[in-house]
Amino acid sequence: QQTIKLTAAGGHPPVFLWVKLLDEFYIPEVDKRLAAAGGKHKVEWTKAWGGTLIKIGAESKGISDGVADFGFVGTLFEAAKFPMQNVSYVAPFGTDNLGAVGSIVADMQKKIPAMGDTWTKNGLVYLGGTALDTYHLWTNFPVKSIDDLKGKKISAPGPSANWVKNTGAVAVAGSLPTYYEDIKSGVSNGAITFSTGAWGAKLHEVAPYVTKVNFGSMYAGAVVMNKRRFDSLPPEVQQVFREVGLEYDKRFAEAQRSTADALLQKMAAAGATVSELPAAERQRWADTIPNVAQTWATDLQGKGAPGTEILKAYMEGLKKSGAQLPRDWSVK
């Protein structure tokens, strides 16, 4: 029997589903399948979640440097290294079907070499990807129309700041853990985020008006292994890692989606007012904000990457999935 020592790590703690599923599904499943295959190989795991070994935003470097061998890379937090994987954030008002976003991006990574190669170029092997459930709006005032946002401060950091531009609202910086206090103290009047995150931050307590804007599911990151380490593994072990990766994708999409729906209901049961933004208002909103996707594509083209092609492919994928798209960002 050959023992393979692997260190698994991630910047987020296991309360986040993408890490929880690594801990509770991916790793045990690999062990199980290796044992079932005759037990010729056995993995001895060291696990370090929650940034105890590698921090959010430095996960790809940590794994490619070999500080960890295997883990989750949040592309959302490494936009400069994975610009192409962040296409969903510049093309909001997509779909609430997170499985679709996951498979659209996975598909693009296969068909557009530049996009798939990002992983190998960073010294990583891609094993499976995940998307976050669709983004909505949590506020301490009712929102029936985009006009209600005038003069309000909304916690919307990073790429989501662009989603409130020109709406009359002011984007305020922050991060999931700070929203609660920021809204409670009045530094902001609401936040744009995803349901599973909002539940963790208990946003509905301070921002009880939940408006389902459906900014769309966002591609968030991937399970990866250090490339040198992966290449050194026996082919049958590599195969197991790839297979479990595909299964992880599926399980993640199912679990995250059902959890998101259930959590919105729980928030309503806890006294929050959950309402859907009317389609006409969603259309107005999408028409109001600037087309950052074009800036993004131009920037990528300037760096020699196929930004325009990726944007087109993503919008095509969304259309094929049957999503209601108020705006096609690939059109200038």
Partner 1 sequence: MNLSTPGTGGAASRVDAAPQDAYNLPLPFGLHRLTQALNALGTLMIIGLMLLINADIVGRTGFDAPVRGVTELVSLSIVGIVFLQLADTLRCGRFTRADMLLDGLKRDRPVLAARLQALYHLLGALLMAVILWAAWPSLTESIASREYVGALGDFTAPVWPVRLMMLVGLSVTALTFVLLAVIDLQRGQRLAAKREHKR
Partner 2 sequence: MSATTVAVLSLVLMLLLIWGGLHVAVVLGLVSFVGVWIIRDDIGVAANLLAQASSDAIASHIFGVVPLFVLTGFLVARADIGKDAFEVANQLFRRLRGGLGVATVASNAVFAAITGISIASAAVFTRVAVPQMMRFGYQPKFAVGVVAGSSVLGMLIPPSLLMILYGFLANQSVGDLFTAGIVPGLLLASAFAIGIVLAAYFKPSMVYAGGEMPVPDGEDMSPLTMALKLVPIVLMIGGVLGGLYGGLFTATEAGAVGAALALLIAVLRRKLTARSFWEVLTETGHVTVAVSFLIICASIYTRMLAMSGMPQFLMELISHAGFGPFAFLLVYVFIIILLGTVIDSSSILLIVLPLMLPIAEQFGMNLIWFGVVTVVAVEIGLLTPPFGLSAYVVKSSLNDPRITLGDIFRGTGPFTLIMVAVLLLLMAFPALSLVLL
Provide the binding-site residues for partner 2, judged by CB under 8 A: 7, 9, 13-15, 46-55, 57-58, 61-62, 65-67, 176-178, 180-182, 184-187, 199-202, 205-206
From residue 61, give the alpha-carbon distance in Å to each of 36, 50, 66, 78, 230: 33, 16, 8, 10, 16
**What single letter denotes the amino acid at residue 320?**
K
Number of H helices, E strands in the chain: 14, 11
Segment 10 to 49, residues that bind partner 1, using CB under 8 A: none
Q: Which of 4, 48, 56, 79 forms a contact with partner 1 (CB under 8 A)?
A: 79
User: Could you tell me the two tokens for 317?
Assistant: 């994928």
Considering beta carbons, is residue 206 or 292 the nearer one to partner 2?
A: 206
x-or-dash string of contact with partner 1, 115-154, rule CB under 8 A? ------------------------------------x-x-
User: Could you tell me the two tokens for 44?
Assistant: 């001895």
Partner whose footprint covers residue 177, from partner 1, partner 2, none (CB < 5 to 8 Å by kind): partner 2
Considering beta carbons, is residue 183 or 222 the nearer one to partner 2?
A: 183
- Which of 243, 233, 247, 239 has its CA nearest to residue 5? 233
**Candidate segments 45-53, 169-177, 201-209, 224-232, binder of partner 1 by CB under 8 A:** 169-177
Considering beta carbons, is residue 288 or 321 the nearer one to partner 1?
A: 288
Minimum Å gap between C-beta 112 and partner 1 is: 19
Q: Which of 11, 71, 174, 208 forms a contact with partner 1 (CB under 8 A)?
A: 174
x-or-dash string of contact with partner 1, 249-288, rule CB under 8 A? ----------------------------------------
Partner whose footprint covers residue 205, from partner 2, partner 1, none (CB < 5 to 8 Å by kind): partner 2
Burial class (CB in 10 A: 0-12, 13-18, 19+), 151: exposed
Minimum Å gap between C-beta 171 and partner 2 is: 15
Which H, E and C letters describe 70-98, residue by residue? EEEEEHHHCCCCCCHHHHHHHCCCCCCCH
Q: Is-contact 252 18, C-beta < 8 A?
A: yes
Partner whose footprint covers residue 161, from partner 1, partner 2, none (CB < 5 to 8 Å by kind): partner 1
Considering beta carbons, is residue 46 or 301 the nearer one to partner 2?
A: 46
User: Could you tell me the two tokens for 173?
Assistant: 């910086």
The bridge status of strand 124-132 relative to strand 218-226 is antiparallel
| Site membership for partner 1, residue 170 (CB under 8 A) | yes
**Candidate segments 102-110, 228-236, 266-274, 292-300, binder of partner 1 by CB under 8 A:** 292-300
- Helix axis angle, 307-320 relative to 292-302, nearest 10°? 140
Partner whose footprint covers residue 46, from partner 2, partner 1, none (CB < 5 to 8 Å by kind): partner 2
User: What is the end-to-end Cα distance of the chain in Å, rounded?
Assistant: 59
Considering beta carbons, is residue 21 or 63 the nearer one to partner 1?
A: 63
Q: Is-contact 152 158, C-beta < 8 A?
A: no
Q: Is-contact 326 286, C-beta < 8 A?
A: yes
Q: Which of 87, 149, 172, 277 forms a contact with partner 1 (CB under 8 A)?
A: 172
Residue with tokens 């992966």: 230
From residue 51, give the alpha-carbon distance in Å to each of 44, 58, 60, 62, 75: 20, 10, 13, 11, 15
Cα-based torsion angle of the residue sequence 132, 163, 313, 84 in order, rounded to the nearest 10 degrees:
-70
Residues that bind partner 1 (CB under 8 A): 79-81, 89-90, 151, 153, 157-159, 161-162, 165, 170-174, 290, 292, 295-296, 299, 303
